[in-house]
Structure formats: structure tokens, C-alpha cells
Amino acid sequence: MRLTRFIAIFLIFSISLSIVTVIRGLTPYSSSSRRNLLPNGSSTTIYRWPPRTVRIELRSTGKLLFEIYYYLNGENHTVIRKFVERGIFTVDVQRRGLNTMF
């Protein structure tokens, strides 16, 4: 009876850990997003739970350098790099540790 209880407790704890691990993975690892981007300022969001689709909306009064890159084997690999004013971008993320920067 006591062993069954301990197994049940262990199972519940494992399930809780799995759920919270998924929640943690879906939460941005790091974010420095601001409502207003200052000139020469940047905003970065890092996720670590691929694959996923990221939708980024940009609105600005001037030109922005919009850049998406992933970090692999110590190198930054650029996915998108262009000057934009506005737009909605959908990016398929297939690799771990994608950084978006604009």
C-alpha cells in the first residue's frame, strides 16, 4: 500500500515537472522588448523550444534594421536581414536558440 502511494506521488511529480518544463520552454528565455524603440536601440527575444512559427509585427515611423538569426556552433546564421518600415513577418523556426533582433 505504501509503495503504491510512493509510486503515485512520484508519477504525479513527474507529470507536474513535464507540464512545467513545457511551459518554461514556451516562455521566452530572454526578452528585452520595449514599447518604444529608441534610435540605435534594439529589442531581442530568445526562445528555446523549436520547432515553432513566430509571427513578428513591425511598425515604425522610420526605417528599422530587422534581423533574425540563429546561433549554432558559436556562429550567428542570418535568416533575414533587411531595412523595413512596417510589415508582418512569419518565420518558421527549426533550430534551437533562435534570436530575433530589430
Partner 1 sequence: MLKVKRTVKNLKTLIAWEFDRVNIYLLGFIIFVTTAYVLHPMVSFSTRVIRIGEIMFQIKSWWEEYLFYPGDVINAIEPLVAFLSGILFASNVARTFENREMLTLLTCPIKRFDVILSKFLINFLILYFTCGVPFTLDMLLLGINPLSFDMYIWLLILLLPVLFTCSIALFASVTFKAAAPTAIIPPLAYFGLLKILWSTNVKIFELLYSEWDKELFNAAKSWLHFSSTTFSVNANFLYILLHRLLLPIFFIILSIIYFQKVLQLD
Residues that bind partner 1 (CB under 8 A): 1-2, 5, 8-9, 12-13, 15-17, 19-21, 23-24, 27, 29-30, 46
Q: Give me the residues paired with residue 95 across strands.
A: none
Q: Which is nearer to partner 1, 23 or 65 (CB)?
A: 23
And the C-alpha cell for 14?
A: 513527474
Closest to partner 1 by CB, 16 vs 42, is 16
Q: What is the Cα–Cα distance from 72 to 89, expressed in whole angstroms?
A: 22
Q: With respect to partner 1, which residue has the nearer C-beta, 64 or 93?
A: 93
> Please, what is the minimum distance in Å from the beta carbon of residue 42 to partner 1?
14
Residue 99 cell numbers, joined? 534570436
Cα–Cα nearest to 101, from 47, 62, 49: 47
Residue with smaller CB distance to partner 1, 12 or 72: 12
Shortest gap between Cβ of 30 and partner 1 (angstroms)? 3
* Cβ 60 vs Cβ 86: under 8 Å: yes
In what helix (H) or strand (E) does residue 52 lie, and over which residues does it extend?
Answer: strand 52-72
Q: How far is the CB of 22 from partner 1 (least distance, A)?
A: 11
